[in-house]
């Protein structure tokens, strides 16, 4: 799940430069995503707190990650890339509160600090592995491989969160 928050962001600029984009346009599409993410973080958290379908808010970012990776590979049109970054940022803003809510629902308040610590350790390890793999795959196979890796991380996250029984999550 770590890669769904940052996604391909660190490598997107390089990819777009290779497709003859100017730095100002790259900054603009990345800013569009950043602003969208900031604007929806609080509403996303409130929505997740109220829903009984918390896993859905991990699955949706996974789907957005897969789709955004595919869309950018297929078209480097400014508005398409911009919309993919907005969708990815909105989805990424939902994943943190969703994972927190699922964690709290699974282990309750008593076990939350310990489990959240584990979650964050794995999150950071996943970020390091994702960045390392992205760099390696990009160097060996080309920048397109990074998009496939990001999509694969999204699919893996969807599969793993789907294995959590909904009845195991206490929504109170």
Cα–Cα distances in angstroms (integers) from residue 163 to residues 104, 158, 159, 160, 172, in the given order = 17, 9, 7, 5, 21
Number of H helices and number of E strands within the chain?
6, 0
Which region, left, alpha or beta, applies to residue 164 given φ > 0 means left and ψ of -120 to 50 means alpha?
Answer: beta
**pLDDT of 48:** 92
pLDDT tens for the chain, residues 1 to 172: 555 555 577 788 888 999 999 999 999 999 999 999 999 999 999 999 898 888 998 898 888 888 888 898 899 999 999 999 998 888 888 888 999 999 999 999 999 999 999 999 998 898 888 888 988 998 999 988 988 888 888 888 899 999 999 889 887 7
Predicted TM-score of the model (pTM) = 0.82
**pLDDT of 130:** 87
At the topology level of CATH, where does 2-163 sit?
A: Growth Hormone; Chain: A; (1.20.1250)
Angle at 28 between CA 15 and CA 86, to 5 degrees: 85
**pLDDT of 1:** 58
**pLDDT of 139:** 92
Question: Residue ranges per domain, the chain?
Answer: 2-163
């Amino acid at each position: 799940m770590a890669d769904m928050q940052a996604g391909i962001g660190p490598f997107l600029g390089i990819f777009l430069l290779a497709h003859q984009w100017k730095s100002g346009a790259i900054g603009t599409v990345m800013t569009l995503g950043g602003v969208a993410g900031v604007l929806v973080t609080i509403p996303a958290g409130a929505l997740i707190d109220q829903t009984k379908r918390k896993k859905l808010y991990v699955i949706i970012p996974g789907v957005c990650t897969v789709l955004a990776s595919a869309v950018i590979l297929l078209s480097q049109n400014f508005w398409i890339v911009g919309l993919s970054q907005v969708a990815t940022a909105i989805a990424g803003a939902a994943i943190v509160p969703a994972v927190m809510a699922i964690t709290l629902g699974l282990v309750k308040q008593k076990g939350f600090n310990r489990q959240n610590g584990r979650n964050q350790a794995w999150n950071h390890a996943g970020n390091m592995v994702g960045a390392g793999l992205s760099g390696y795959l990009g160097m060996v196979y080309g920048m397109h491989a990074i998009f496939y890796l990001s999509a694969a991380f999204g699919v893996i996250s969807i599969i793993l969160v789907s294995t959590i029984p909904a009845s195991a999550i206490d929504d109170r």
